[in-house]
């Protein structure tokens, strides 16, 4: 396979994962470089969203919005090197994927015989290990951590620092949370909840190796805990180390041990969705609706919409997201409300309904105002990120798209959630 790809003023070195323009380096994150490499290896050919997710992220569990975000970063970088190139070179095929339109010259450092036919999509060599630690909903995570604190409370100083770290995590003040939680486990190294919370904070910080190490520390200190809590810690560790199927099996056992407690079922359900196990998630959702007196719970309704989205059934995710939104407002679940608004906006575009872009823009504007009203900067950054994804499809290359994406990145960085900008 060729080592160098030339297009416009750019040179992409596949072996070194380095992009230059006119001999000058162009700053791009590793995931963005991987994405660009897949596209330039397939010039003129539609590369589907699933192909890109598999080639770039592999088994790592990511939201589809991360792909839109990464494409925006690539377009911005290419636009800096050549007037308007970012938008004109990468075509969005709505609801399907992306196509690289610029002529590409592939150059091998060591000449090799040409092979007939187009090159298949081949995942680029990974620039570094990166495992996305996708935590359950904030409420479910908080319940796990608080129950761990009750089971193994630690000394007074460790308790104080642990509580401070959890409070900062609830506000998504990641750098402050890391500081408090590191101090907590230093004060009491046998505090499993402290290590587990620290793993979550490190993941948001973008430090996957530290997240894995902290989760391992929690796992090693879980002896003596109730079986359900041990299973939750083990499942978290397995998720970090990419063994998502094993993690789901352990969470199923924890759910059975709790006699089908709703919060444990919700944690399992979200894990199955993040693992892209749509049929298993749908079966569990049906089970939860049948067994729980919470069929109209906004969290279950949002999960229904997310499963439809996972199956690319946007005609199904659209009404499901509307139901989740209405329920979240009735039940006062602000985070679910903002997530539902974002999903509703994307589903409108994917379903291709009349005036989809205008109505989707209205949905995102409401989500943004809601987050601003709550003073929740992490949710605001999420709403801005969704708005950037929306603009990349409806009005790509505009100053507004650039502005909202930069605002989102600035907030994530200020909070210390650097993992959201990778």
Output the average pLDDT for the chain.
Answer: 80
In the predicted model, what is the mean pLDDT of residues 267-295? 88
Confidence of residue 47 (pLDDT cuts 50, 70, 90): very high
Asked if residue 273 lies in contact with residue 306, where contact means CB atoms within 8 angstroms, the answer is yes
pLDDT of residue 283: 96
pLDDT of residue 349: 84
**What CATH number is associated with residue 60?**
1.10.10.10
Confidence of residue 422 (pLDDT cuts 50, 70, 90): low
Domain end marker among 51, 82, 106: 106
In-domain check, residue 404 = no
Output the CA angle 102-104-105, nearest 5 degrees.
155
pLDDT of residue 124: 43
What are the tens digits of pLDDT across the range 85-114?
555 788 888 778 899 988 888 887 554 444
In-domain check, residue 311 = no
In-domain check, residue 322 = no
Task: Kindly write down the DSSP assignment for every residue of 26-76, as one continuous string.
Answer: ----HHHHHHHHHHHTSTTSEEEHHHHIIIIITT----HHHHHHHHHHHHH
339 pLDDT higher than 60: yes
In-domain check, residue 167 = yes
What are the tens digits of pLDDT across the range 145-170?
444 444 455 678 888 898 898 888 87
301 pLDDT higher than 60: yes
pLDDT of residue 73: 77
Which residues are within 8 A (CB) of 221 and not within 5 positions of it... i.e. 6 or more apart?
Answer: 152, 189, 190, 191, 192, 195
Q: What share of the chain is helix, strand, coil (3-state, %, to 5)?
A: 65, 5, 30
Confidence of residue 299 (pLDDT cuts 50, 70, 90): very high
In the predicted model, what is the mean pLDDT of residues 378-382? 87
Same domain, 96 and 192: no
Rounded to whole angstroms, the maximal C-alpha distance in the chain is 70
Question: Residue 167's domain spans which residues?
Answer: 138-295
Query: How would you write 137-186 as a 3-class SS string?
Result: CHHHHHHHHHHHHHHCCCCHHHHHHHHHHHHHHHCCCHHHHHHHHHHHHH
273 pLDDT higher than 90: no
In-domain check, residue 19 = yes
Number of domains within the chain: 2
pLDDT of residue 1: 59
What are the tens digits of pLDDT across the range 180-236?
999 999 999 998 888 988 988 887 776 778 888 999 999 998 888 889 888 988 998
In-domain check, residue 419 = no
Same domain, 10 and 90: yes
Output the CA angle 72-346-65, nearest 5 degrees.
40
Same domain, 22 and 80: yes
Same domain, 161 and 288: yes
């Amino acid at each position: 396979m060729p080592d160098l790809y030339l297009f416009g003023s750019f040179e992409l070195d596949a072996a070194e994962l380095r992009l230059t323009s006119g001999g000058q380096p162009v700053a791009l994150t590793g995931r963005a470089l991987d994405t660009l490499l897949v596209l330039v290896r397939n010039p003129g050919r539609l590369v589907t969203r699933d192909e890109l997710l598999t080639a770039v992220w592999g088994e790592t569990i990511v939201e589809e919005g991360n792909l839109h975000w990464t494409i925006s970063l690539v377009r911005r970088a290419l636009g800096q090197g050549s007037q308007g190139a970012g938008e004109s070179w990468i075509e969005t095929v709505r609801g399907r994927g992306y196509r690289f339109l610029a002529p590409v010259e592939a150059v091998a450092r060591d000449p090799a015989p040409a092979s007939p036919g187009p090159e298949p999509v081949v995942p680029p060599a990974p620039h570094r290990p990166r495992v996305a630690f996708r935590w359950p909903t904030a409420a479910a995570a908080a319940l796990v951590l608080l129950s761990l604190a009750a089971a193994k409370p630690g000394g007074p100083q460790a308790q104080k620092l642990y509580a401070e770290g959890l409070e900062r995590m609830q506000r998504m003040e990641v750098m402050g949370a890391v500081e408090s939680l590191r101090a907590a486990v230093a004060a009491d190294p046998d505090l499993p909840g402290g290590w587990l919370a620290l793993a979550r904070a490190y993941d948001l910080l973008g430090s996957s190796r530290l997240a894995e190490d902290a989760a391992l520390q929690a796992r090693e200190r879980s002896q003596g805990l109730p079986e359900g809590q041990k299973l939750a810690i083990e499942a978290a560790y397995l998720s970090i180390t990419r063994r998502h199927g094993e993690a789901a099996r352990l969470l199923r056992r924890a759910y059975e041990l709790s006699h089908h407690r709703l919060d444990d079922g919700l944690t399992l359900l979200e894990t199955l969705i993040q693992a892209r196990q749509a049929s298993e998630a749908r079966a569990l959702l049906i089970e939860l609706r049948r067994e729980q007196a919470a069929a109209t719970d906004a969290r279950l309704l949002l999960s229904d919409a997310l499963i439809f989205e996972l199956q690319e059934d946007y005609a199904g995710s659209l009404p499901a997201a509307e139901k989740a939104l209405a329920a979240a407002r009735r039940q006062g679940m602000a985070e679910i409300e903002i997530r539902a608004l974002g999903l509703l906006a994307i589903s409108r575009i994917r379903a291709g309904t009349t005036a989809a872009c205008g109505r989707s823009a209205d949905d995102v504007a409401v989500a943004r105002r809601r987050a601003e009203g709550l003073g929740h900067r992490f949710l605001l950054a999420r709403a801005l990120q969704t708005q950037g994804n929306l603009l990349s499809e409806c009005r790509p290359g505009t100053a507004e798209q650039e502005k909202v994406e930069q605002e989102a990145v600035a907030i994530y960085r200020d909070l210390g959630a650097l993992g959201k900008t990778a």
